[in-house]
Amino acid sequence: MSTPHDRNEPTDPHARRMNRVLDYIDQHLADDLKLETLAEIAAYSPYHFHRLFLAWTSETPNDLVRRRRLEAAGSRLRHSSSAAVADVAAAVGFASVEAFARAFKQQFGMTPTGWRKGGYMEWEMRQRESVPEFEAAPVVRLERLPELEVLYWRHTGPYGASVVETWERFVPWIKAMGLGEQPLIGMGLDDPSIAPASRCRYDACVVLPPNWNSPATRVSRRKIRGGWFACVDFQGSRTDFGPEWMRILRRWLPGSGFTLADCPFIEYYPAGVSPTPPAPAPGEQPVIRVELRVPVEA
């Protein structure tokens, strides 16, 4: 029996959505290009769209919109010597000449007037000298996994040291509950590049055995959807999780024949593997062994 990843048109679903958004941006540079609008065009939730867009383009939606506006302005200034700077600024979505001039200088290192007088040639030379670095694709294992039921503690606040502290309190608690030999799951529910750090949510979870029941606990309980997941075995520091998620989205997903499913990414810790490894030697980062799971669908 064939599986969804046997498709003969691997890049179509993902590329079509992203290119539709990029085309829309180019055609509406003067409009208010909100994240929610672009996510709707891509048919993704704003959370997943922002993360996918960053992986696909290496830029946030806001950064790409800003860059495209300024690049379009640069082209107009170069090729249309009669166009007033104010008219060019308005045509690409800037409310004032002052804001446009500041943004233009920040992007290109010169004023719009300096660009028009020949500065664009210096910029073009610098662009030809820049060579993008190669990024290897991760080794992805595609698995169809069952629905899981978990107990969880929710941390709200910046991702980082406080997440580790949540695990350090959660693990002894689950051991006291008789669940110390069960797998653990971590889920970041908010994108820290969108949501304020103080509002970011992270769930530390323990997978429950079948038919488990304990009326003594009032801790939150939920089910995590089953389905297809792109799984990557990863070893590194917790600060390296973000770049590895992006590598999966950037280097594997576009040619996979899959799109993202609308549920959180999962850190999966098999039974006996700790999300809080022993303290490393001075100057070294703690090494975590984890399976990173990206939810996908055909």
Could you report the per-residue pLDDT of 135-161, keeping only the tens digit for each?
A: 788 999 999 999 999 999 999 888 888
pTM to 2 decimal places: 0.71
- Domain 141-297: state its class: alpha beta
pLDDT at 217: 67
Closest CA relative to residue 168, chosen from 286, 281, 265: 286
| pLDDT tops 70 at residue 13 | no
pLDDT at 114: 93
pLDDT at 130: 61
Cβ atoms within 10 Å of 142's Cβ, excluding its own: 16
Q: Which residues pair with 143 in a beta bridge?
A: 229
Mean pLDDT (the chain, rounded): 86
| pLDDT tops 60 at residue 2 | no
- Superfamily of the domain at 4-129: Homeodomain-like (1.10.10.60)
Asked if 258 and 4 touch (Cβ cutoff 8 Å), the reply is yes
Which phi and psi (to 5°) does residue 232 adopt?
-130, 125
Q: Where are the domains of the chain?
A: 4-129, 141-297
